[in-house]
Amino acid sequence: MNNAMLCSSKLNKLSKTCNIILNKWFLEKIVQYNSIIYHNFQQCQTLHATVIRSETIKEVERKTNDLERFRDLTRAGPSLKDFLSKTEIPIDPIRVPNIPYIQNINGSDQKVYFEVYGCQMNVNDTEVIWSILKSHGYKKVEDIKEANIILFITCSIRDNAEQKIWNRLTDLNHLRKKKKKNPIKIGLLGCMAERLKDKILERGKLVDVIAGPDSYKDLPRLLSIPDNETAINVVLSFDETYADITPVRLNPNSTSAFVTIMRGCDNMCTYCIVPFTRGRERSRPIESIVKEIQSLSDDGVKEIVLLGQNVNSYRDMSQLKLYTNMETHLAKGFKTVYKNKKGGRRFCDLLDEVSRINPEMRIRFTSPHPKDFPDEVLQLIAERPNICKEIHLPAQSGNSRILEKMRRGYTREAYIDLVHHIRQIIPNIYLSSDFITGFCGETEEEFQDTLSLIELIKYNKAFLFSYSMREKTTAHRRYQDDVPPNVKQNRLERMISKYRTEAEKLNKLQIGQSQLVLVEKPSKRSHDSFQTKNDGNTRVIIPSMSIPIGKHSRDEKPIKIGDYVVVKIENANFQTLMGKPLYHSSITEFASSSAL
């Protein structure tokens, strides 16, 4: 029994030992075999990759060869031009004589009469229109009865201006009925045409041609459309400035001439219709303006008025690459509704070049915005004798809340500070302004702020109106025209009275002064007097007489239109000065003697 148990124990130990040895041997073999398998796997993988790379290279070479063969085929094959030539359908050309409205585009037998309403811009627009029509053979007549084409150049800034034109159109409709054998064609041009085109058509056959401010070049075509059709073009342009048109002056004998330098307005005042009838701001190149003014100077013009809806925001972008970093500098305390404009040549650059053309030709400008009067413009006005010491500075209201509601971009205080700043740089400056009373929500107390501003500033000239709501404006969309008409009229009368009182005080301070005036025309009130204009654009009446040809000369010659004359102011009222002629002079001579 004991021997058996001993034997069994030894056998168990031997078995365990054998198992350990066998397990160790198997593990070594497994590791060995795994190593062999991994090595073989790597060799196979390398071989496989080599085969793939070889096949890929062959495939790329094959496709490249196919692409080259395809390119060769397309080069040798037919092109799109060949395809179009085979599929095109022959079309007979349209001959111009076959188009009905172009048969009479030559206006050699047409006589046109102009009736101009509104601002100076409309006068200059009429000169542009006349230039276009004259080049097509049209003739201008001064008697409306001789005309077979009557053109109204219209204003839309206030309701009164539009009502005048509606009444005029109604009157002319009776004249048209009387002349059926020789029919009259009536055209409505300008701001009212753009704003009220639909209403004009609704009122029946009052007009034959409707043309907006940017479509005057299209007038020969519009006027050539048959009599039973209404011709319309009121499309506003982003770039039309008529820079390529040389205006033909309506009055070639006038001593003054208007030159439009920019069109449109970006200010978007809430009460104003101009951005909607005249479009966005765009400016003529300086070179075209200089060329036109040089021509006017050669013709003997003594005074140039630079025009624009926002004249001092002028910016010539025609050479933007050379003037990329020029920023707009606003007057202190003023802001805009648009981003600050950069690049181009500014109003100061234009004013500098224009004033150098002829030192004996006066330069004025209108209508500016108060925000666009940086110091460089003010200093240039102060330095150049031929740039008139007159600034139109539209305030519109004397109350800050109303100014904000109008979206003017300044407060009462900022406006007053600007006036003080201007008078520091140009002590002898003449100021004029625009005011509106009765704007939406204006109270009596707020109106009193306007009266006090007029009394404080003391303007040489002012243009005063009661508010007239205009469709399309921001005020029309947002506000109520809630000031009663009788209140508006009462405030307007009080505003006019305040202005006249202060203007007369200002003008009487000029009594005894010696001023240089430009002789414009015979006085309406007396055949023995001339109407002249001083540096501040104030009318000065002087007697017609012979005076010395110079300050220290004994030789005399008669005063004539176009002369510069030094006068002594002897009397004044709120709008007119009366003077005594002293001697003939010039801008340069008078500036030199005044500086001594």
Average pLDDT, stretch 350-378? 96
Which pLDDT score, from 0 to 100, does residue 32 have?
Answer: 63
What is the amino acid identity at position 106? Answer: N
Is 435 in contact with 474 (CB distance < 8 Å)? no
Torsion, Cα 463 469 472 475, to 10 degrees, reads 90
Which pLDDT score, from 0 to 100, does residue 11 have?
Answer: 46
pLDDT band at 338 (very low <50, low <70, confident <90, very high): confident
The more confident residue out of 205 and 308 is 308
Reference 232, options 274, 196, 180; nearest CA is 196
Which pLDDT score, from 0 to 100, does residue 202 have?
Answer: 76
Q: What percent of the chain has pLDDT over 90?
A: 63
Looking at the structure, tell me whether residues 404 and 333 fall in a common domain.
yes
Is 112 in contact with 151 (CB distance < 8 Å)? yes
Which pLDDT score, from 0 to 100, does residue 35 have?
Answer: 62
pLDDT band at 33 (very low <50, low <70, confident <90, very high): low
**Exposed (0-12), middle (13-18) or buried (19+): which is 153, by Cβ within 10 Å?**
buried
- Residue 234 phi/psi, 5-degree rounding, is -125, 25
Which pLDDT score, from 0 to 100, does residue 1 have?
Answer: 45
The answer to whether residue 56 is domain-embedded is no
Looking at the structure, tell me whether residues 402 and 494 fall in a common domain.
yes
Which pLDDT score, from 0 to 100, does residue 72 have?
Answer: 65
Among 86-90, 346-350, 579-583, which is the least confidently predicted range?
Answer: 86-90
Looking at the structure, tell me whether residues 312 and 435 fall in a common domain.
yes
Which pLDDT score, from 0 to 100, does residue 363 have?
Answer: 98
Reported in sequence order, the residue ranges of 199-302 that DSSP labels E, i.e. its strands, are 209-211, 231-233, 256-260, 262-263, 282-283
Query: For 101-120, b where at least 16 C-beta lie within 10 A, e where not — what string?
Result: eeeeeebeebebbbbbbbbe
Q: What percent of the chain has pLDDT over 70?
A: 80
Tokens of 279: 């479009």
Looking at the structure, tell me whether residues 414 and 431 fall in a common domain.
yes
The answer to whether residue 70 is domain-embedded is no
| Domain membership of residue 161 as a residue range | 111-233
Q: Is the pTM above the cut of 0.85?
A: no
The answer to whether residue 40 is domain-embedded is no
Looking at the structure, tell me whether residues 492 and 435 fall in a common domain.
yes
- Of 457, 484, 509, the position where a domain reaches its end is 509
Tell me the C-alpha distance between 276 and 287, whole Å. Answer: 28
Among 81-90, 94-103, 284-293, 525-534, which is the least confidently predicted range?
Answer: 94-103
Looking at the structure, tell me whether residues 387 and 345 fall in a common domain.
yes
The domain spanning residue 579 has which CATH number? Answer: 2.40.50.140
What is the number of structural domains in the chain?
Answer: 3
The domain spanning residue 209 has which CATH number? Answer: 3.40.50.12160
The more confident residue out of 427 and 162 is 427
Residue 18 has pLDDT above 90, yes or no: no
User: How many residues belong to the chain?
Assistant: 596
Which pLDDT score, from 0 to 100, does residue 89 have?
Answer: 58
- Of 233, 248, 276, the position where a domain reaches its end is 233
Looking at the structure, tell me whether residues 285 and 158 fall in a common domain.
no
Render 196-222 in DSSP notation, one character per residue: SHHHHHHT-TT-SEEE-TT-GGGHHHH
H/E run at residue 153: strand 149-154
- What's the mean per-residue pLDDT of the chain? 86
Tell me the C-alpha distance between 182 and 194, whole Å. Answer: 28
H/E run at residue 451: helix 444-457
| pLDDT tens, residue by residue, 240-275 | 999 999 999 999 999 999 999 999 999 999 999 999
The answer to whether residue 68 is domain-embedded is no
Looking at the structure, tell me whether residues 308 and 374 fall in a common domain.
yes
Looking at the structure, tell me whether residues 387 and 321 fall in a common domain.
yes
Average pLDDT, stretch 152-179? 85
Looking at the structure, tell me whether residues 505 and 517 fall in a common domain.
no
Is 345 in contact with 354 (CB distance < 8 Å)? no
Tokens of 357: 């053309």
Residue 94 has pLDDT above 50, yes or no: no
- Reduced to 3 states (helix: H, G, I; strand: E, B; else coil), residue 310 is coil
- Of 233, 267, 290, the position where a domain reaches its end is 233
Looking at the structure, tell me whether residues 269 and 379 fall in a common domain.
yes
Tell me the C-alpha distance between 519 and 241, whole Å. Answer: 32
Residue 468 has pLDDT above 80, yes or no: yes
The answer to whether residue 147 is domain-embedded is yes
The answer to whether residue 285 is domain-embedded is yes
The domain spanning residue 393 has which CATH number? Answer: 3.80.30.20
H/E run at residue 456: helix 444-457
Looking at the structure, tell me whether residues 354 and 337 fall in a common domain.
yes
Residue 45 has pLDDT above 60, yes or no: no
Which pLDDT score, from 0 to 100, does residue 211 have?
Answer: 92
The answer to whether residue 175 is domain-embedded is yes
Tell me the C-alpha distance between 480 and 490, whole Å. Answer: 19
Which pLDDT score, from 0 to 100, does residue 339 have?
Answer: 74
What is the amino acid identity at position 128? Answer: V
Which pLDDT score, from 0 to 100, does residue 268 have?
Answer: 93
Which pLDDT score, from 0 to 100, does residue 2 have?
Answer: 46
Among 70-74, 377-381, 532-536, which is the least confidently predicted range?
Answer: 70-74
Which pLDDT score, from 0 to 100, does residue 55 have?
Answer: 54
Residue 582 has pLDDT above 60, yes or no: yes
The answer to whether residue 72 is domain-embedded is no
Average pLDDT, stretch 111-133? 94
Which pLDDT score, from 0 to 100, does residue 83 have?
Answer: 54
Which pLDDT score, from 0 to 100, does residue 4 have?
Answer: 46
Average pLDDT, stretch 97-111? 63
Average pLDDT, stretch 495-518? 97
pLDDT band at 161 (very low <50, low <70, confident <90, very high): confident
